[in-house]
Structure 1
Amino acid sequence: MNGAVDFPLDQAELSFRAAGDALVRRTVLPSGVRILSEQVPGARSLTIGYWVAVGSRDEQPGHFGSTHFLEHLLFKGTPTRSALDIAISFDAVGGEHNAMTAKEYTCYYAKVQDRDLGMAIDVLTDMLTSSKLDSDEFETERGVILEELAMADDDPADVANERFFEAVLGKHPLGRPIGGSADDIRGATRTAVWEHYQANYRPQDLVVTVAGAVDHDELVAAVTRTLERAGWDLSIVQTPVRRRGGLPADIHQGQALTIVKRPLEQANLLLGMPGLLATDDRRVTMSVLTSIFGGGMSSRLFQEVREKRGLAYSVYSFAPGYSDAGLFGMYAGCTPAKAGQVAQLMLRELHRLAADGVTADEMKRASGQLSGASALALEDSDTRMSRLGRSEITLGEFADLDEALRRLALVTATDVQQLAAELASGPVSISAVGALEDDAFAAILPG
C-alpha cells in the first residue's frame, strides 16, 4: 500500500494489501450496504461491527436521547430471540458483545473466534433489523437508562466533561450530552424512538466492518443472506448515505465559565477551546502537539503540574475531532483551593508552547510514543475494526500503519508551534466540579 486509499461511495469493489500483509476488501452492495474486512495473517479471532452513521447530534427536539435509548432496546429481543437468547449466544462461545453510541455514529459489535462469525452475523443482523421495541421492555429500559445517567451524574469527571462540551460548543448539537438528560428520558415515547429507528436503520445507512480471521466473500454472502432473511429488500438500488460535510461549523462559545458546586475533596477541572475537524489535514500535527503537551509522564503538563509542584495526580490533554467541529482540552484533578493555580499553569504552558515552540527531543519522543502506541493498538482486532468503521463513515479514506507513520514523519516543530498559537488564540472555556468559590478562576476569566 502506497499512500491512503480513497473509499468512493460509488465504487462497488475495492481490494488492497495494507501494512503487515493484511488484506483489506470493501464491497458496496446495490442497496447501499457497505461491507469492509481486514484479513489479518495468523489471526484466530475477529471483531465485527454493525455501524449506523447516526448519533446524538442528529436528534431533533422531542427525540433527544433516542439514539442511546435505541441502542439499549436492540438488545431486548426480536421475534425469534429474547434478550436472554442474545446474551447466551455470545456467552456460550466465550465471546463479547456490546454497543456504543457516539455523537456521530452508533456501533453494535462483537468479538468471537473465527468459527463463530456466522453466529455473530445472525445475531447482530437480527438485533439491528428486527428489534421488537416492546412496550414493556421500553419502560424497563427507561429505568435502566435513568440509573445510568444517575451514575454518570455521580461521577464529577463525567459532569465536568459534559459541561465542557456545552461550554466550548455552545448550542451546536455536538455540545449536547449523548444520553440526553433525565428529563429527556422520562419524557421519551416509544413512538419517538420507533420513528428514529425507522428513519435511520436502512440499507443505505448500514456499514459492516470485520477485522481478524475473516474471508471477505463468505462475509458478504452471510451478511446479504441474513439481511434478506430479515425482510430487507436489497434489490432496490440506492446510493449509500453521504458522509457529513467537512466544512467547519460556525461555533459560538456557550459560556466561559461553568462551576458545579459539590462537597468533594477534589476539584475536577477542564479548560480548553475549539480544536480541529476529524478530517483536517493537521490532525496528525494535533496528535504530536497533544503528546508533547499532555500525552504522557514526560509531557509538559505532567512535569509542570504534577512532578514539579505536586498539584495534581491526574493531568493530561485531549483533542476529539468531529465532522464539522473539534475541541482541545486539558484536564486536572486537584485540591479545590489550588484549582485556579492549576488552571493558570495549564494555560500558561499552552501559551509558552505557542511562543517558544518545541524542542527536537520533544519531537523525537512524540514520534516514538505515537508510532509505538499505534503499532501496539493494531495488535487488537477491536482497533482494526473501529479503524475500518471510522475510515468509511467519517474520513472517506483508509490509512494503514505505514501511511500513518509517513504522515507523522512529515510533521515539523514549526507545524506544532503554529497550531499551538492558533489554539491559544481561541476563546477559553472552563468547567469545574467541586467545592469551588465563584472567583476561583478570576485570574484567567476576570469578571
Structure 2
Amino acid sequence: MDGAVEFPLDLAELSFRAAGDALVRRSVLPSGVRILSEHVPGSRSLTIGYWVAVGSRDELPGHFGSTHFLEHLLFKGTPTRSALDIAIAFDSVGGEHNAMTAKEYTCYYAKVQDRDLAMAVDVLTDMVTSSLLDPDEFETERGVILEELAMADDDPADVANERFFEAVLGEHPLGRAIGGSPEAIRSASRAAVWEHFQANYRPQDLVITVAGAVDHDVLVAQVTRSLAQAGWDPETLATPVERRTGGAAQITQGEALSIALRPLEQVNMLIGMPGLVATDDRRVTASVLNSIFGGGMSSRLFQEVREKRGLAYSVYSFAPGYSDAGLFGMYAGCTPAKAGQVAELMLSELHRLARHGVTPEEMRRASGQLSGASALALEDSDTRMSRLGRSEITLGEFVDLDESLRRLALVTPDDVQALAADYLTGPISVSAVGALPADAFSGILPSGVRP
C-alpha cells in the first residue's frame, strides 16, 4: 500500500493490501449498503460493527435523545427474537456485544470466533433493520437511561466534560450531550424515536465493517442474505449517503466560564479552545503536539503540574476532531485552593510551547510514543474494525500503519509550534466542578467574567 486509499462512494468494489499483509476489501451493494473487511493473517476471532452516520448532533428539535434511546432499544427485541434471545445468541458462544453512541455516528458491534460470523450477522442485521421499539420496553428503557444519566451526573469529571463542550462549541450541535438531557429523555415519545429510526436506519445509511479472521466473499453473501430476509432488498437501487462536508464551521463560544459548585474534595476542570476538524491535514501535527504537551508521563503538563509541583494526580491534554469542528483541551483534578494556580500553569505551558517551540528530544519521544501506540492498538480487532468504520464514514480514505508513520515523520518542530500558536488565537473556555473560590480563574480569563 502506497499512500492513503480513497473510498469513492460510487465505486462498487475495491481491494488492496495494507501494512502487515492485511487484506482490505470493500463492496458497495446496489442498495447503498457498504461492506468493508480487513483480513488479518493468523486471527481466529473477529469484530463486526454495524454503523449508521447519525449521532447526537443530528437530532432535530422534538427528537433530542432519540439516538441514545435507539442504542438501548435495538437490543430489546424484533419480530423473531426477544431481548433474551439476542443476549443468549452471543453469551452461548462466549462472544461480546454492545453499542456506542457518538456525536456523529452510532455503532452496534460484536466480537466472536470466526466460526460464529454468520450468527453475528444474522442477529445484528435483525436488530438494525427490524427492531420493534416495543412501547413497554420503551418506558422501561426510559428509566434505565435516566439512571445512566444520573450516574454520569454523579461523576464530576463527566459533568465538567459535558460543560466544556457546551462552553467551547456554544450552539453548535456538537456541543450537546451525547446521551441527551434528563428533560429530553423524560419528554421523548416513542413516535419521535420511531421517526428518527425510520429516517436514519436505511440501506444507504448502513456501513458494515469486520476485522480479523474474515473472508470477504463469505461476509458479503451472509450480509446480502440476512438483509433480504429482513425485507431490505439488496437489489433496490440507492446511493450511499454523502459524507459530511463543508469544512470547518463558524464556532461562536458558548461561555468563557462554566462552574458547577459542589462540595467535593477536588475540583475537576477543563481549559481549552476550538481545535481542528477530523480531515484537517494538521491532525498528525495535533497528535504530536498533544503527545509532547499532555499525552503521557513524560509530557510537559505531567512533569510540570504533577512531578515537579505535586499539584494534581491526574493531568493531561486531548484533541478530538469532528467533521466540521474540533477542540483542544487540558484537564486537571486538584484541591480547590490550588485550582487557579494549576489553571494558570497549564495555560502558561501552552503559551511557552507556542513562543519557544519544542526540542528534538521531545519530537523523538512523541514519534516513538505515537508509532508504538498505533502498532500496539492494531493487535486488537476492535481497533481495526473501528478504523474501517471511521475511514468510511468520516475520512473517506484508509490510512494504514505505514502511511501513518510516513505522515508522522513529516511533522516538524515548526509545525508543532505554529499549531500551538494557532490554538491560542481562539477564545479560551473553562469548565469546572467543585467547591471553587469566586476568583479562581481570574488570572486566565477576561476581567468581568465571573461564575
TM-score range, shorter chain: over 0.9
Contact persistence 1:55–1:67 (CA under 8 A): yes
Which residue number corresponds to residue 266 of structure 2? 266
Which residue number corresponds to residue 156 of structure 2? 156
Which residue number corresponds to residue 382 of structure 2? 382
CA–CA separation in structure 1 for the residues paired with 2:132 and 2:148? 22
CA–CA separation in structure 1 for the residues paired with 2:222 and 2:82? 22
Any idea what SS the aligned residue of 2:30 has?
coil
Which residue number corresponds to residue 406 of structure 1? 406
Which residue number corresponds to residue 70 of structure 1? 70
Equivalence map 1:78-93=2 (5 Å): 78-93=78-93
CA–CA separation in structure 1 for the residues paired with 2:138 and 2:425? 47
Which residue number corresponds to residue 362 of structure 2? 362
Offset at 1:442? 0.8
Any idea what SS the aligned residue of 2:439 has?
coil
Residue identity opposite 1:237 in structure 2 = L
Which residue number corresponds to residue 170 of structure 1? 170
Q: Deviations over 1:64-105 (max 9, x none)?
A: 110010110000001111111101111111100000000000
Q: Give the superposed CA RMSD.
A: 0.5
**1:196 correspondence with 2:183:** no
Which residue number corresponds to residue 331 of structure 1? 331
Any idea what SS the aligned residue of 2:38 has?
strand
**1:433 correspondence with 2:440:** no
CA–CA separation in structure 1 for the residues paired with 2:266 and 2:62? 36
Any idea what SS the aligned residue of 1:260 has?
strand
Q: Deviations over 1:194-214 (max 9, x none)?
A: 000000000000000000000
Offset at 1:234? 2.1
CA–CA separation in structure 2 for the residues paired with 1:233 and 1:39? 27
Offset at 1:235? 1.9
Offset at 1:294? 0.1
Which residue number corresponds to residue 300 of structure 1? 300
Q: Deviations over 1:16-71 (max 9, x none)?
A: 00000000000001110000000000000000000000000000111111001011
Offset at 1:438? 2.2
Which residue number corresponds to residue 255 of structure 1? 255
CA–CA separation in structure 1 for the residues paired with 2:444 and 2:22? 50
Any idea what SS the aligned residue of 1:364 has?
helix
Which residue number corresponds to residue 373 of structure 1? 373
Runs of 5+ unmatched residues, structure 1: none
Offset at 1:373? 0.1
TM-score, normalised via structure 2 length: 0.99
Which residue number corresponds to residue 321 of structure 1? 321
Any idea what SS the aligned residue of 2:241 has?
coil
Residue identity opposite 1:17 in structure 2 = R
Any idea what SS the aligned residue of 2:386 has?
helix
Any idea what SS the aligned residue of 1:388 has?
helix
**1:206 correspondence with 2:209:** no
Offset at 1:242? 0.1
Residue identity opposite 2:250 in structure 1 = D
Residue identity opposite 1:374 in structure 2 = S
Any idea what SS the aligned residue of 2:100 has?
strand
CA–CA separation in structure 2 for the residues paired with 1:185 and 1:426? 33
Any idea what SS the aligned residue of 1:321 has?
coil
Flag as ranges the 4+ runs of structure 1 deviating above 6 A: none
Offset at 1:246? 4.2
Equivalence map 1:109-148=2 (5 Å): 109-148=109-148
CA–CA separation in structure 1 for the residues paired with 2:187 and 2:136? 16
**1:227 correspondence with 2:233:** no
Offset at 1:238? 1.0
Any idea what SS the aligned residue of 2:75 has?
coil
Answer with 436-445 or 316-325: which moved more.
436-445
Contact persistence 1:259–1:438 (CA under 8 A): no
Which residue number corresponds to residue 218 of structure 2? 218
Offset at 1:356? 0.1
Which residue number corresponds to residue 29 of structure 2? 29
Contact persistence 1:108–1:124 (CA under 8 A): yes
CA–CA separation in structure 2 for the residues paired with 1:265 and 1:425? 34
Which residue number corresponds to residue 58 of structure 2? 58
CA–CA separation in structure 2 for the residues paired with 1:160 and 1:219? 43
Residue identity opposite 1:69 in structure 2 = F
Offset at 1:233? 2.2
Any idea what SS the aligned residue of 2:36 has?
strand
Any idea what SS the aligned residue of 1:432 has?
strand
CA–CA separation in structure 2 for the residues paired with 1:383 and 1:107? 13
Q: Deviations over 1:246-297 (max 9, x none)?
A: 4110100000001100000000010000000000000000000000000000
CA–CA separation in structure 1 for the residues paired with 2:409 and 2:179? 39
Offset at 1:237? 1.1
TM-score, normalised via structure 1 length: 1.00
**Count of paired positions:** 447
Which residue number corresponds to residue 239 of structure 2? 239
Residue identity opposite 1:28 in structure 2 = V
Which residue number corresponds to residue 106 of structure 1? 106
CA–CA separation in structure 2 for the residues paired with 1:159 and 1:314? 16
Q: Deviations over 1:170-227 (max 9, x none)?
A: 0000000011100000000000000000000000000000000000000000001001
Any idea what SS the aligned residue of 1:233 has?
coil
Contact persistence 1:246–1:279 (CA under 8 A): no
Residue identity opposite 2:156 in structure 1 = P
**1:279 correspondence with 2:283:** no
CA–CA separation in structure 2 for the residues paired with 1:378 and 1:179? 29
Residue identity opposite 2:306 in structure 1 = R
Contact persistence 1:246–1:277 (CA under 8 A): no
CA–CA separation in structure 2 for the residues paired with 1:289 and 1:384? 24
Runs of 5+ unmatched residues, structure 2: none
Seq. identity, %: 84
Any idea what SS the aligned residue of 1:296 has?
coil
Residue identity opposite 1:308 in structure 2 = K
Which residue number corresponds to residue 290 of structure 1? 290
CA–CA separation in structure 2 for the residues paired with 1:444 and 1:12? 53
CA–CA separation in structure 1 for the residues paired with 2:109 and 2:438? 44
Any idea what SS the aligned residue of 1:221 has?
helix
CA–CA separation in structure 1 for the residues paired with 2:283 and 2:444? 28
